[in-house]
Amino acid sequence: MPEQPGKNAIEVRGVRKVFGSGEAAVAALDTVSVSIRENEFFTLLGPSGCGKTTLLRLIAGFDYPSAGEILLYGDDIALLPPFKRPVNTVFQSYALFPHMTVAQNIGFGLEMLRKPKAEVKARVAEMLKLVRMEHLASRRTSQISGGQQQRVALARALAPQPKVLLLDEPLSALDYKLRKEMQIELKRLQNQTGITFIFVTHDQEEALTMSDRIAVMSSGKILQVGSPWDIYDKPADRFVADFIGETNFLTASIAGVENGKARATLKSGATITASVADGFQPKAEATVVVRPEHAKLTKGKAELSGTVENIVYFGTDTHIHVRLDGSNDLFIVRQQNARSAGCGFEAGDKAGIAIGDDAAQVLRD
C-alpha cells in the first residue's frame, strides 16, 4: 500500500497477541500492521472473534502485545499502563461509575489529571452541552436511559481531550432508531472535536456510512485497509468481497496486467477490463467479482448470458437472479426501480448481462 500523506496518530507495527501457551495458544492478532491518521474516523470491521477488541485493548493499554510496537505520534506506548496514555475508551457496556452523578462521571478524567476545579467545571459544562445532556447533570447514571448513558460515556471519554478515542461497538446495545441517531451524533462529535476516532463494529453498513477509512479483519489479520469506496468497489480478496455487501464471483483467465487493469476473459468467452487488487500475483486463472448493481441486464447479447430464474422486488430496487449459460452459476443483477414500471423481464426469459469496463475487480486470491 503506498504511503499516504498526513500525520499518523497511531501506528501499529507487526503486533502479535497470543493468548494461552503451548498447545492451547491462540493468536488473537497475527502480525498486524496499520497506520491511523490524525483526525480520521477509522473503523475496525470484522466478524466476531477476529481480534477487533484485542487490538483496541492493546491501544488502550488494558493488555500488552506479545510482539510488535504501537506508536502514538511516534512514541512507542505499547508497554505504558492505561493511565499514562492520552487515549480514552468508550466501553461497550459504558462502564459509567454508578456511585457518581452524570457530571461527576464526565469530570473524572480531568480531576485525575489534576486540572483546576474551575477548569473542570467549565469543561464538564461544555461536554454536557456537546452531548445535549445539560438537564441531567446531577442525575445518578442508573437513573438515565440507555441512549443517555451512551452520551455520558462519550462525554466522559472526550472531556480530557484525548489524542485518540477508542470505541468498542458503542452502539450495539441500542435499538435500531437510536442507533441511527447516535451514528449521526458520533460523526458530528468527531467533526466538532477533531479527535481521531478508532471505532469497532461488526456491522458493515455502519462501517461504510461512518468511516473515513476501514480496516477489514479476519482471524487476527487485517485483510484490507481503505476508504469505504475502496473496500466496497475494490475488495482485495474473497473474504472482504463476501463480507461486505452482496457480490457475484466469476472465474476468468487473466491476460496482461497493466496500470492496475487487467484483461479478463470470462468463461463465456467475452473479455472485459477489470481493476486488479493490490498484491495480485500474476496467474492464469483468478476470481473476478462484480457487484449486482454494477451489471446491467439486456435483451440482446452481452458479456454474459443466461436465463432469468427469479425476480425479487425490494421497493427501491429489484434483484434478478440469472442462471448463467455454460457454468450454471447464479448471477444477481440489481436494478433501480422506476415508478409503475416492471423490471422488463420475466422468469424464464433469456437475457444478456452487460459488464461495463469499470464494473469488475480481480481478487488477489
Ligand X SMILES: Nc1ncnc2c1ncn2[C@@H]1O[C@H](COP(=O)(O)OP(=O)(O)OP(=O)(O)O)[C@@H](O)[C@H]1O
List interacting residues with another protein (CB under 8 A).
Answer: 60-62, 81-84, 87-89, 91, 93, 95-99, 108-109, 112-113, 142, 156-157, 160
When binding is defined by CB under 5 A, the residue of 8, 43, 53, 88 that contacts Mg ion is 53
Residue of 224, 315, 240, 326 whose CA lies nearest to 278: 224
Contact between 254 and 264 (Cβ < 8 Å): yes
Shorter beta-carbon distance to ligand X: residue 40 or 169: 169
Shorter beta-carbon distance to another protein: residue 15 or 60: 60
CA dist., res. 222 & res. 35, Å (int): 12
The amino acid present at 231, given as its one-letter code, is I
Sign of CA dihedral 128, 61, 171, 216: positive
64: helix, strand or coil: coil
Query: Which among Mg ion, ligand X, another protein, none contacts residue 51 (Cβ within 5 to 8 A by kind)?
Result: ligand X
CA dist., res. 71 & res. 79, Å (int): 11
| Position 305 contacts Mg ion (CB under 5 A) | no
Total length of the chain:
365
Task: Point out which span in 47-55, 129-137, 207-215, 259-267 binds Mg ion (CB under 5 A).
Answer: 47-55
Q: In what order do the strands lie in the sheet with 330-336?
A: 295-298, 350-355, 304-313, 317-324, 330-336
Query: Which among Mg ion, another protein, ligand X, none contacts residue 202 (Cβ within 5 to 8 A by kind)?
Result: ligand X
Query: Which among Mg ion, another protein, ligand X, none contacts residue 19 (Cβ within 5 to 8 A by kind)?
Result: ligand X
Shorter beta-carbon distance to ligand X: residue 49 or 245: 49
Instruction: Give the nearest distance from C-beta 247 to another protein in angstroms.
Output: 38
From residue 54 to residue 93, the character string flagging contacts with ligand X as x (rule: CB under 6 A) and all else as - is: x---------------------------------------
CA 144 to chain centre: 30
Task: Point out which span in 47-55, 191-199, 275-283, 326-334 binds ligand X (CB under 6 A).
Answer: 47-55
Output 31-35 pairs: Cβ under 8 A, ≥24 positions apart.
31/67, 31/68, 31/221, 32/68, 32/220, 32/221, 32/222, 33/68, 33/222, 34/215, 34/222, 34/225, 35/4, 35/8, 35/10, 35/11
Q: What is the CA radius of gyration of the chain?
A: 24
Query: Which among ligand X, Mg ion, another protein, none contacts residue 235 (Cβ within 5 to 8 A by kind)?
Result: none
Shorter beta-carbon distance to ligand X: residue 217 or 272: 217
Instruction: Give the nearest distance from C-beta 62 to another protein in angstroms.
Output: 6
Distances (CA, A) of 193 to 39, 165, 188: 9, 11, 9
Instruction: Give the nearest distance from C-beta 167 to another protein in angstroms.
Output: 12
Task: Point out which span in 51-59, 68-76, 78-86, 357-365 binds ligand X (CB under 6 A).
Answer: 51-59
CA dist., res. 319 & res. 245, Å (int): 14
Query: Which among another protein, Mg ion, ligand X, none contacts residue 122 (Cβ within 5 to 8 A by kind)?
Result: none
The amino acid present at 270, given as its one-letter code, is A
Shorter beta-carbon distance to another protein: residue 51 or 61: 61
CA dist., res. 223 & res. 359, Å (int): 22
Instruction: Give the nearest distance from C-beta 43 to ligand X in angstroms.
Output: 13
Task: Point out which span in 6-14, 44-52, 137-145, 278-286 binds ligand X (CB under 6 A).
Answer: 44-52
Point out which residues bind Mg ion (CB under 5 A). Answer: 53
